[in-house]
Amino acid sequence: MVASLTGYGPDTEKDIAEAQAIMQKLGYGDAKPLQIKIQRGTCPTYRDPAVILIDQLKKIYITGELDILDTPRWYARLAKKDYTIGLSVTGVSVDDPDGNIVETYS
CATH number at residue 90: 3.10.105.10
Strand partners, 69: 41
The pTM for the full model equals: 0.73
The answer to whether residue 98 is domain-embedded is: yes
Q: What is the pLDDT of residues 47-83, one digit of tens each?
A: 788 889 999 999 999 999 988 888 888 888 888 888 8
Instruction: Please give the tally of structural domains in the chain.
Output: 1
Three-state SS for 54-67 is HHHHHHHCEEEEEE
Residue 14 located in a structural domain = no
Measured in degrees and rounded to the nearest 5, phi and psi for residue 81 equal 60, 40
Residue 56: inside a domain: yes
Sorted by sequence, the CB contacts under 8 Å of residue 66 that are 6+ apart come out as: 37, 38, 40, 47, 50, 51, 54
Does a structural domain hold residue 38? Answer: yes
Residue 72 lies in domain = 29-105
Asked if the structure places residue 5 within a domain, the reply is no
Helix, strand or coil for residue 93?
A: strand
